[in-house]
């Protein structure tokens, strides 16, 4: 079993995938193909999806019976003690480039600064 999800890809890619797989929703293709055809389809997806994104989930001979391939997506396949998972990284907040907390940017600190300015010295 193969599931391929594509987004922001050219229509020609969707046409190629629909020759081998059934499109059950916009950009979601499902079907049963051989491993050779599956690998050739994935190569075609990578070739045609220049700026688009794609994820493929397929049957595998492991404990989980699933494996993943990802192309130009922020989700990352990871191996956690023999179990394949897809890691979805937390979204970074705007202005947070280092991931560290910067002092003085919380609402509480703004209120304290405003109170200091108003209080007579």
The total domain count for the chain is 1
Whether the Cβ atoms of residue 57 and residue 68 lie closer than 8 Å to each other: yes
Inside any domain, residue 28: yes
Q: Is 64 a member of any domain?
A: yes
- Classified as helix, coil or strand, 99 is coil
In-domain check, residue 103: no
**Is residue 21 in a domain?**
yes
DSSP, collapsed to helix, strand or coil, labels residue 84 as strand
Q: Which residue has the tokens 């019976």?
A: 65
Its pTM stands at 0.68
Look-up of token digits 């509480």: 108
Q: Report the CATH number that the domain containing residue 84 is assigned in CATH.
A: 3.30.70.240
What DSSP designation does 79 have? Answer: E
**Residue 104 lies inside a defined structural domain of this protein:** no
Which letter does DSSP use for residue 63 in this model? S
Measured between its terminal Cα atoms, the distance across the chain in Å is: 74
Residue 77 domain-assigned (yes or no): yes
pLDDT recorded at residue 109: 76
- Which one is predicted more confidently, 93 or 117? 117
With H, G, I as helix, E, B as strand and everything else as coil, classify residue 90.
Answer: coil
Residue 98 has pLDDT above 70, yes or no: no
pLDDT at 103 over 70: no
pLDDT (tens digit, 9 = 90+) per residue, 45-87? 999 988 889 999 999 888 888 888 999 888 888 888 878 888 8
What pLDDT does residue 27 have? 93
Answer yes or no: is 111 within a domain: no
The residue range of the domain holding 54 is 2-92
Question: Does some domain include residue 59?
Answer: yes
Angle among Cα 74, 93, 105 to the nearest 5 degrees reads 165
């Amino acid at each position: 079993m193969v599931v391929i999800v594509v987004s922001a890809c050219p229509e020609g890619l969707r046409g190629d995938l629909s020759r081998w797989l059934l499109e059950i929703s916009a950009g979601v293709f499902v079907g049963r193909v051989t491993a050779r055809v599956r690998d050739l389809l994935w190569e075609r997806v990578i070739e045609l999806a220049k700026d688009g994104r794609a994820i493929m989930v397929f049957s595998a001979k492991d404990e989980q019976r699933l494996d993943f391939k990802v192309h130009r997506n922020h989700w990352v396949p990871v191996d956690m003690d023999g179990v394949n998972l897809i890691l979805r990284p937390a979204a970074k907040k705007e202005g947070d480039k280092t991931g560290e907390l910067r002092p003085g940017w919380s609402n509480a600190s703004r209120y304290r600064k405003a109170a200091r300015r108003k209080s007579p010295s």
